[in-house]
Amino acid sequence: MRGGPNELLKLSHKKQFVSRNFHHFLAVSTLTANALTIRASRVKLRPLSTTPFAGVVSCLTMRTVFWDFESHELKMIDQRRLPGSLEVVSFRTHADVAEAIRSMTVRGAPAIGVAAAFGLALAANESRAQATAMLLSDLETAARTLKASRPTAINLAWAVDNVMRIAYSVSGSIEELRIAVLNEAQRMADEDVEINQRMGQHGAALIDDGDTIIHHCNTGALAVVDWGTALGVIRTAHGQGKRVHVLVDETRPRLQGARLTAWELEQYGISYEIISDNMAGFFLSRGQVQKVLFGADRIAANGDVANKIGTYMLALAAHDNRVPVYSVAPTSSIDLLLKDGSQIPIEERDPDEVLGLQFHGERVAPVNAKARNPAFDVTPNRLITAIVTENGIVRPPFDVNLRKIAGEGFVPAQGDHKGRPYKEK
């Protein structure tokens, strides 16, 4: 979709709500002809078409994270509410954005990176500084808050560092500094869409007509600014006319697959079925799956991939059954500073996410039960067939080829926030 991010959702209130009722939709009266309504998941609607991208006709266009230039607010889809309802929430402070990242109001490595970048734009507006040095100090404080919100996805720190590097390069007034921060955040948002579409084109070449694909977690438009990573590959292949069927891992404990990926696939008109995570091995062993796709929250220099918990188990089963495994991620997810996946920090989330699960309205676990809840695991590079990036498809040896695809000087999240270049390996 061409045009600014606010052409999709122009909202005049703090919240806009889409219920399960067919007749209640997000306001779209001001949209251009190429924009689309985001639809409630429980209603089967005829897909609409947008302007083709490289021969691919999209059936839904939305931005998960966007800046409202009229209200000077950051607006995001509240992903905790889907698929039952679609709610767009507004943010005025960087602290609220950090909490939204922690609570997974917004989720997905690219999406939280851009959200954090816009969080710095909010911090610039919040600051009462009378001099640029004071404003930069306030931005440093906000940067630390935002970077601490979730530790595993490298895109978050990478995005914050990029904006801070731009901030320290500004030699003008306070207002020029504020504008520069917002412009960089907006540039990153727009670039994210273009990067995802490029990944979609590269990855779709790996998909054959008639493929059944197991997909883990949610890597669609909801996980990025728009389009998607691994699900963006499936979406692109579908748009090219390839017949694909997706087995959607539930992705416990937060069920991003069952809640979000299934919802997106309905919008795109792509055939799917939901399976529990522990069913994957059955379908792989029966020869009913041709590909396994997932995203990445951080990729170490040797090609080890940190991704949503359960990815490692899925990759093991696929490898044992000689089914190709593809991780799809932008180069901003590659951390060349980390030799291997053992160095990737793994977030442990609230055990209540596990213990709070219900079956037929009844709590599953005993009241006094305890639980562990790592949010991610690391899939070793030996189980990865290839990594799809916006710059092309990377195959083993990953320790050599990732550097080639990402650029020798690309070292994310290592700017010192003082305008000096990133350290080189």
Provide the annotated active-site residues: 297
- Contact indicator for 263, 290 with CB cutoff of 8 Å: no
Q: Which amino acid is at 241?
A: G
Cα–Cα dist 308/296, whole Å: 8
Six token digits for residue 103: 């609570």
DSSP string, 45-97: -PPP----BTTBPPS----SEEEETTTTEEEEE-TTSTTT-EEEEEE-SHHHH
- Contact indicator for 279, 251 with CB cutoff of 8 Å: no
Q: Enumerate residues 6+ apart whose C-beta is below 8 A from 274.
A: 248, 250, 257, 258, 262
- Contact indicator for 106, 82 with CB cutoff of 8 Å: no
Residue 110: HSE in the Cβ half-sphere, 13 Å Cα cutoff: 34
What 3 state SS string does 231-258 have? HHHHHHHHHCCCCCEEEEECCCCCCHHH
Q: Which of 50, 23, 17 is nearest to 36 (CA)?
A: 50
Cα–Cα dist 249/49, whole Å: 28
Q: How many CB atoms lie within 10 A of CB 271?
A: 11
